[in-house]
């Protein structure tokens, strides 16, 4: 079984960061897993998981005090627009959740 | 001790009996009761339409906390109305009056509208003021233009702490605002209590979403915050259902933010780079180390304009043969609408939009969905946006019939292809909107564009004293 971010995160959530971006917060239970996940989460890897160009990944931030990593991505379809299916972007953490971790 | 605040969120329904937590906070001592009730998370519809969540929600969330202000004679600061434009503020003020009448409270209230006058804004643009977009997104013009102002149904701005401080300085019992900066409500209390900008901003950041900063996070729970003489912040939970922890409070600085180290305010930004969270026992967390970098004063403008009327149809497909052919069915339906003589004057994607969303098949993650093809039933949402409600309903009806009785390879279901959820095949859900303004308006005087008035609550039923 491949271990993924989903298997190790204690909190894994996504939400709008304003109407034009959404942001994913990953909280890890310890420093070792924090370092492992932080190493895996590059703009290129995130862009690949979300099938967007790397330029759509606005930033990846590490907050050591909370053992948390934040990933912010530009929204492709806005709330109210035709075709939108996630107004506050609450289900957009999953492509990141399924990124595998090294053995 | 410089400041003690009881914080809640006035648009989140109260789940548990709030009285034990409120009594605990009153025992600790309270200088202000503060609660935000505006936000843009729910999309441009609310601002554009002027509509409000059920005002009963505001009434019942605010009611128990107003007892604190009545009994302790301490001020409240509330922002109200979700989008926070004039119609929503008026509705909430009427609701607030109802609470006062029913509970027997009397309050002298400073009311501050968040609306920005259209002519004022156009004058600023004509005078050459640069009003840049706040977020870099292709849906926004780089600079706010006259035509963006003209097409917007409502334009509001997130007021900073200064108009609230001005109202409180006039001696009112409390303040109710339209659209405001959430943290600004707390900064107003902080600045009036001799707290630095840096600590006031961090204090606001920690308290603005109330129980979201606790473990387990629950925005329906209040939070209690203190600013000590040495400017350290101490957070406590008046409820026994949750506690602040280092991870929950530090983690809260990430919440809804693009960048966890920088929180933009009207007159500068909060730098969280060196903030330190510490468990000091007794269920309390101490937070220190805020820095503040002053920048030229700006308020964030928000505007929305209609893009058309929306009508929807929801049904489900269980028949395996139809499931197999659903992807091309969506295209077939669109094609049939395009080819219908009654819609020949309308161009898809310009005059109207017809979207077919297949719930159960990649609806939520789209192209990024890695799991494919295991569903045994799929919900089909037909989503039409068109220039009038009549056209939207007609396209929606046409498309739903096309889905219901259209042909597909191997079709045997000649009496109907889908399970309709609603007897009303076309469900009008009001107008759809887009953002027109998400821009930064420079101000020399932070009070300038915000209309402020003073009213006695409760006011006489059937009247409106503003």
The secondary structure of chain B, three-state, reads CCEEEEEEECCCCCCCCCHHHHHHHHHHCCCEEEEECECCCCCCHHHHHCCCCCHHHHHHHHHHHHHHHHHHCCCEEEECCECCCHHHHHHHHHHHHHHHHHHCCCEEEEEECCECCHHHHHHHHHCCCCCEECCCCCCCCCECCHHHHHHCCEEEECECHHHHHHHHHCCCCEEEECCECHHHHHHHHHHHCCCCHHHHHHHHHHHCCHHHHCECCCCCCCEEEEECCCCCEEEECCCCCCECCHHHHHHHCCCCCCCCCEEECCCEEEECCCCEEEECCCCCEEEECCEEEECCCEEEEEEEEEEEEEEEEEEEECCHHHHHCHHHHHHHHHHHHHHCHHHCCCCECCCEEEEEEEECCCCCCHHHCCCCCCCCCEEEEEEEEECCHHHHHHHHHHHHHHHHHCCCCCCCCCCCCCEECCCCCCEEEEEEEEEEEEEEEECCCCCCCCCEEEEEECCCCCCCCC
pLDDT of residue A44: 98
pLDDT digits (tens, 9 = 90+) for B169-215: 999 999 999 999 999 999 999 999 999 999 999 999 999 999 999 99
Could A21 and B368 be called an inter-chain contact, meaning their C-beta atoms sit closer than 8 Å? no
Q: What is the pLDDT of residues B105-153, one digit of tens each?
A: 999 999 999 999 999 999 999 999 999 999 999 999 999 999 999 999 9
Residues of B in contact with A48 (CB under 8 A): none
Q: What is the pLDDT of residue B239?
A: 98
Min CA distance, B371 vs chain A (Å)?
Answer: 10
ipTM of the complex: 0.90
Instruction: State the best of B38, B135, B182, B260 to mutate against chain A, taking most chain A CBs within 10 Å.
Output: B260
Check B140 against A85: CB less than 8 A apart: no
Which of B21-30, B190-199, B403-412 comes out lowest in average pLDDT? B403-412
- With an 8 Å Cβ cutoff, the interface of chain A facing chain B consists of 11, 15-21, 23, 25, 27, 49-51, 58-59, 61, 63, 65-68, 70, 72, 74-75, 78-83, 85-88, 91-92, 94-95, 98
> Does the pLDDT of residue B72 top 90, yes or no?
yes
pLDDT score of B385 more than 80: yes
Task: Determine the pLDDT at residue B370.
Answer: 85
Inter-chain CB proximity A17 and B257 less than 8 Å: yes
Domain with CATH 3.30.70 in chain B: 306-435
The pTM score is: 0.94
Query: What value does the mean pLDDT take over residues B334-343?
Result: 97
pLDDT of residue A66: 87
Residue B314 sits at φ, ψ, to 5 deg, of -125, 125
Residues of B within 8 A of A20 (CB-CB) are 135, 137, 139-140, 435, 438
Do A19 and B134 lie within an 8 Å CB cutoff? Answer: no
Confidence of residue B268 (pLDDT cuts 50, 70, 90): very high
Average pLDDT, whole number, for chain B? 96
pLDDT for the residue numbered A69: 96
Give the model's confidence band at B93: pLDDT under 50 very low, under 70 low, under 90 confident, else very high.
very high
Average pLDDT for residues B256-265, to the nearest whole number?
A: 90
pLDDT at A65: 85
Q: Chain A partners of B135 at a C-beta cutoff of 8 Å?
A: 18-21
8 Å CB contact of A15 and B255:
yes
| A10 min Cα distance to partner chain B (Å) | 11
- The answer to whether residue B16 scores a pLDDT higher than 80 is yes
* Angstrom distance (rounded) from CA A82 to CA B250: 37
Please report the pLDDT score of residue A42 as a whole number.
98
**Contact flag B438-A74 (C-beta cutoff 8 Å):** no
> CB distance A81–B434 less than 8 Å?
yes
Among all residues of chain A, which has the CA nearest to that of B431?
Answer: A80
How far does B411 lie from chain A, in Å, by closest CA?
A: 28
- Of A52, A41, A58, the closest CA to residue B258 belongs to A58
The CATH class of B306-435 is alpha beta
């Amino acid at each position: 079984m491949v271990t993924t971010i989903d298997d190790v995160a204690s909190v894994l959530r996504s939400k709008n960061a304003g109407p034009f971006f959404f942001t994913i917060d990953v909280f890890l239970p310890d420093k070792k897993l924090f370092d492992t996940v932080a190493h895996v989460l590059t703009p290129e890897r995130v862009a690949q998981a979300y099938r967007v160009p790397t330029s759509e990944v606005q930033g990846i931030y590490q907050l050591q005090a909370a053992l948390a990593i934040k990933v912010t991505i530009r929204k492709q379809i806005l709330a109210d627009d035709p075709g939108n299916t996630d107004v506050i972007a609450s289900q957009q953490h999953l492509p990141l959740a399924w990124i595998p971790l090294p053995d | 001790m410089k400041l003690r605040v009881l914080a809640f969120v006035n648009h989140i329904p109260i789940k548990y009996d709030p009285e034990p937590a409120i009594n605990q906070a009153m025992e600790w001592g309270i200088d202000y009761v503060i609660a935000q009730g505006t936000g843009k998370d729910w999309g441009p519809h609310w601002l554009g339409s002027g509509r409000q969540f059920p005002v009963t929600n505001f009434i019942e969330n605010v009611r128990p906390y107003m007892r604190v202000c009545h009994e302790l004679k301490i001020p409240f600061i509330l922002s109200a109305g979700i989008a926070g434009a004039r119609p929503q503020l008026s509705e909430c003020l009427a609701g607030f009056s109802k609470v006062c009448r029913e509970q027997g409270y009397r309050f002298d209230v400073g009311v501050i509208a968040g609306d920005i006058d259209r002519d004022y804004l156009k004058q600023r643009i004509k005078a050459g003021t640069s009003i840049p977009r706040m977020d870099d997104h292709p849906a926004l013009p780089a600079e706010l233009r006259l035509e963006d102002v003209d097409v917007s149904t409502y334009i509001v701005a997130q007021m900073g702490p200064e108009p609230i401080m001005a109202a409180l300085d006039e001696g009112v019992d409390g303040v109710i605002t339209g659209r405001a900066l959430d943290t600004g409500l707390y900064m107003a209390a902080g600045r009036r209590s001799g707290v630095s900008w840096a600590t006031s901003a961090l204090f606001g950041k920690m308290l603005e979403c109330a129980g979201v900063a606790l473990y387990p996070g629950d925005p329906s729970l209040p939070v209690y915050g203190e600013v000590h003489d040495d400017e350290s912040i101490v957070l406590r939970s008046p409820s026994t259902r949750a506690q602040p922890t280092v991870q929950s409070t530090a983690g809260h600085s990430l919440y809804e933010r693009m960048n966890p180290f920088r929180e933009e305010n009207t007159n500068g930004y909060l730098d969280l780079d060196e903030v330190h969270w510490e468990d000091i026992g007794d269920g309390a967390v101490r937070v220190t180390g805020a820095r503040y970098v002053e920048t030229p004063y700006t308020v964030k403008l928000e505007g929305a304009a209609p893009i058309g009327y929306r009508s929807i149809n929801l049904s489900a497909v269980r028949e395996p043969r139809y499931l197999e052919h659903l992807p091309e069915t969506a295209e077939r339906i669109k094609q049939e609408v395009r080819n219908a003589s009654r819609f020949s004057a309308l161009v898809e994607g310009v005059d109207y939009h017809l979207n077919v969303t297949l719930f159960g098949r990649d609806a939520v993650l789209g192209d990024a969905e890695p799991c494919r093809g295991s569903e045994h039933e799929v919900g089909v949402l037909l989503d039409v946006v068109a220039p009038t409600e009549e056209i939207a309903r007609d396209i929606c009806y046409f498309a739903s019939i096309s889905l219901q009785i259209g042909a597909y390879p191997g079709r045997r279901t000649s009496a109907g292809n889908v399970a309709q959820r609603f007897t009303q095949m076309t469900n009008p859900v009001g107008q759809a909107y887009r953002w027109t303004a998400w821009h930064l308006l420079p101000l020399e005087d932070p009070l300038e564009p915000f209309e402020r008035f003073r009213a006695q609550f409760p006011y006489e039923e059937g009247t409106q004293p503003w």
